[in-house]
Amino acid sequence: MRDTERMADGPEIEETEEAAAAAVEQQEEEEEDEEEEEEEEMSFSDPEGFEDDISEEELLGDLLKDCPQEADGIDSVIVVDNVPQVGPDRLEKLKNVIHKIFSSFGKITNDYYPEKDGVTSGYIFIEYGSPAHAQDAVKNSDGHKLDKQHTFRVNLFTDFDKYMVISDEWEIPEKQPFKDFGNLRSWLEDPDCRDQFSVIFESGDRTTIFWNDVKESVPAEERPRWTETYVRWSPKGNFLGTFHQRGIALWGGEKFKQIQRYSHQGVQLIDFSPCERYLVTFSPLMDTQDDPQAIIIWDTLSGLKRRGFHCESSAHWPIFKWSYDGKFFARMTPDTLSIFETPSMGLLEKKSLKISGIKEFSWSPGGNIIAFWVPEDKDIPARVTLMQLPSREEIRVRNLFNVVDCKLHWQKNGDYLCVKVDRTPKGTQGMVTNFEIFRMREKQVPVDVVEMKDGIIAFAWEPNGSKFAVLHGEVPRISVSFYHVKNNGKIDLIKTYDKQQANTIFWSPQGQFLVLAGLRSMNGALAFVDTSDCTIMNIAEHYTASDVEWDPTGRYVVTSVSWWSHKVDNAYWLWTFQGRLLQKNNKDRFCQLLWRPRPQTLLGQEEIKTIKKDLKKYSKIFEQKDRLSQTKASKELVDRRRTMMEEYKSYRELANKMYLDQKEERLELRGGVDTDELDSNVEDWEEETIEFFVTEEIIPLEE
């Protein structure tokens, strides 16, 4: 029935749908007409002949700066010339060598070796992950010597466009402003020949540079928050390094102006090369696998980064040890000794030394000789090796048996090397110590041996001489022995002192004199010794002393109690080399004192001998200056009192003048009575003369 109803309604439904469709079509036509009218009203098309005077940079400047440029991607490309020309059989080996050298500057993303007739063309293209790595590679690898026939010439790829447009006409280069650092050795020109030292106190908030003076230290420069941790002088004294969270700052010159800054976030340790041309910094915060930043070697004056290295631990700082002239520096890793050369900062002969089990190494202070030792391995004895560089020739090898440990001690001038060998002889349970003395200046480097059965506490060479001192024994029976290495091939025991309260030895920089100090746990016991005849000149004490520092001349020595190690009694005391106390300087939370080093003298050995020979002639001048310095305080007192007297006389004259000017007013107030004359007639006035002692000088009369 429902189907029948639907069939009956069919025509009506069709008419309704047609009407609805017509209505929709009419509505769409009306909307199209409206859109056409709106487009006619809001047309964005330019009329014919229109010229736009607005550039794209003005409209889309913020977007166009990110537009790809023609040079994008090639800033990270370098061109390496003077590369060996090889065939397919040696190409893979060449690629490995090239990759090993240039990957140290950053991650290599691509390389290309042009070929001609199956042979490489002698130049290559290397692409890095960033332009900074490419620039670093150019700075540090240009001039790198691969072998005798091939020395790399490295340039940025973008430099070729720059060099192509160079004009044929020569233009006078612009004069660059000269950056004057001042006289970096101005302190050596002091007329009184005084030395300087730095003092950090108030728990690091204040740092002062003092002139050393017998009576009282004179401040030369003082600044708050000059450093955030501690300071460090360069080996020749030209620079003062200060530590900051963002890096290191170097200061120098007469007023300690800033010389250079080195950005190394979180820097904790620094080290200078002996020549002061390079600075090494360490920070544990910035190291990455692709870009080594833990250790950075900088060019001191330019502030440029020369090379970065990885570092797992800084427990044995410095990680790099320098040769005496700064031409080489070396680093020890397990079974490897890596020796680098300057200024390229590359490996010597492009490879490290494979030394199985190497434990310790040290450079000679008097030549490019490196010493290292290797422990025993099964039936192979331990050995100490002396190697000449850059030839890598072994000039002396010493085999050692039953070795437990070794320590290398060089004499300051490199004349001798002492290898302290702890060993356990067969058939015994105890341990003995042998001092193996290498005579470096003699032919074939002969070795002398000194054996000691006591435990060794400390060993130290005389800096300028052939003596050495040894602290041995156990508390409380500690002894000190002095030995002399003679030219006849013998080592003589000079003197032994028993029952000494000492755990460290401090030689004077000039030799002959030393201080035996019992630091920290031994409550600061001090003994001043003259080793020319091994006499103890004085015994003293600086309670809980933590440090001992000799001045560069060897005339004075400082003992101190640092706030970093002991929170009370923080002070530094100044002594003569004979042990006479000159000053006690108490500083609030005193932390550190460092003497400013002096550069090596320019005088030759013959000139030094002449000066020593004629020393009596100069001693009279020095004695006169010493007497003047001793009366300096009295002279200052007299000058101060004379100034006060002159000020008083000026005030008295002014008061008298005022007194006379006011006389008429006094007469008027007193009814015409002149009281001044009455006062002048008083007979009770008394005159008193006061004398006081200023100074006394005793001059002995010559016979």
Range 29-42 average pLDDT? 56
Question: How many other β-carbons are positioned within 10 Å of the β-carbon of residue 203?
Answer: 14
At 14 the pLDDT is 46
pLDDT tens for 532-555 read 999 999 999 999 999 999 999 999
How does residue 684 score in pLDDT terms, banded at 50, 70 and 90?
A: low
148 to 84, 120, 399: CA distances (angstroms): 11, 19, 35
For range 582-589, the mean pLDDT: 92
Contact 446, 488 (CB under 8 A): no
Q: What is the mean pLDDT of residues 220-249?
A: 95
Mean pLDDT, residues 355-370:
94
pLDDT at 11: 43
Q: Give pLDDT, residue 1.
A: 40
Of the candidates 558, 620, 609, 549, the residue with the CA atom closest to the CA atom of residue 583: 558
Do residues 554 and 508 lie in contact, with contact meaning Cβ atoms separated by under 8 Å?
A: yes
Q: What is the C-alpha separation between 312 and 310, in angstroms, rounded? A: 7
Q: Which amino acid is present at 666? A: R
- Is the pLDDT at 653 greater than 60, yes or no? yes
Percentage of the chain beyond pLDDT 90 is 53
Has residue 37 got a pLDDT over 70?
Answer: no
Per-residue pLDDT of 98-134, as tens digits, reads 988 888 888 899 999 999 888 999 999 999 988 888 8
As given in the structure block, the two tokens for residue 613 are 């020979």
Give the model's pLDDT for residue 2. Answer: 41
The reported pLDDT for the residue numbered 601 is 87
In the structure, what pLDDT confidence band is assigned to residue 3 with cuts at 50, 70 and 90?
very low
Please report where in the chains the tokens 């769409």 appear, as a residue.
28
Helix (H, G, I), strand (E, B) or coil at 396: strand
Tell me what the mean pLDDT of segment 386-401 comes to.
94
How far is it, in rounded angstroms, from Cα 408 to Cα 361?
8
pLDDT band at residue 609, thresholds of 50, 70 and 90? Answer: confident
The confidence band for 685, taking pLDDT boundaries of 50, 70 and 90, is low
Q: What is the mean pLDDT of the chain?
A: 85
What pLDDT sits at residue 292?
Answer: 83
Using a 10 angstrom Cβ sphere, with 0-12 exposed, 13-18 middle and 19 or more buried, the burial of residue 202 is middle
- Of 425-434, 530-539, 682-691, the one with minimum mean pLDDT is 682-691
**H or E element, residue 2:** helix 2-41
Average confidence (pLDDT) over 681-695: 67
**How remote is the C-alpha of 35 from its chain's centroid?**
77
Question: What are the tens digits of pLDDT across the range 458-492?
Answer: 999 999 889 999 999 988 889 999 999 998 878 99
Alpha-carbon distance of 576 to 565, in angstroms, equals 25
Q: Tell me, what's the pLDDT at 559?
A: 97
* pLDDT of amino acid 629: 66
Number of H helices, E strands in the chain: 10, 43
Q: Is the pLDDT of residue 426 over 90?
A: no
492-504: average pLDDT: 93
- Name beta bridge partners: 418: 409, 437
Beta-carbon neighbour count of residue 297 at 10 Å?
21
For the cut 90, the answer to whether the pLDDT of residue 445 exceeds it is: yes
If phi > 0 it is left, if psi is from -120 to 50 it is alpha, else beta; for residue 343 that is alpha
* Residue 493 in this model has a pLDDT that exceeds 70: yes
Mean pLDDT of 237-260: 94
**Region 425-450: what's the mean pLDDT?**
89
* 20-35 confidence digits (pLDDT tens): 455 556 666 666 665 5
pLDDT value of position 67: 59
Question: What is the pLDDT, as a whole number, of residue 581?
Answer: 95
Mean pLDDT of 202-224: 91
Looking at residue 170, its pLDDT comes to 83
Residue 634: what pLDDT?
Answer: 60
Phi then psi dihedrals of residue 612, to 5 deg: -65, -35
CA atoms lying within 13 Å on the CB side of residue 562: 17
pLDDT at 323: 96
Whether the pLDDT of residue 577 is over 90: the answer is yes
pLDDT over 60 (residue 36): no
Does the pLDDT value for residue 8 go beyond 60? no
More confident residue, 324 or 668: 324
pLDDT number for residue 361:
96
pLDDT at 416: 96
Q: Are 360 and 408 in contact (CB under 8 A)?
A: yes
**Identity of residue 485:** V
pLDDT at 13: 41
pLDDT digits (tens, 9 = 90+) for 61-86: 566 555 555 545 688 999 999 999 99
Asked if omega into 375 is within 30° of 0 (cis), the reply is no
pLDDT, average across residues 551-561 = 95
12 pLDDT tier (thresholds 50, 70, 90): very low
For residue 55, pLDDT beyond 70: no
pLDDT band at 191 (very low <50, low <70, confident <90, very high): confident
CA–CA dist 395, 372 (Å, integer): 12
DSSP letters of 566-595? Answer: -SSS-EEEEEETTS-EEEEEE-TT--EEEE
> What strands lie across the sheet with 231-233, from one edge to the other?
231-233, 240-244, 247-252, 257-263
In DSSP notation, 53-86 reads -S-HHHHHHHHHTTS--TTTTTTTEEEEES----
The pLDDT of residue 342 is above 70: yes
Higher per-residue confidence, 237 vs 699 = 237
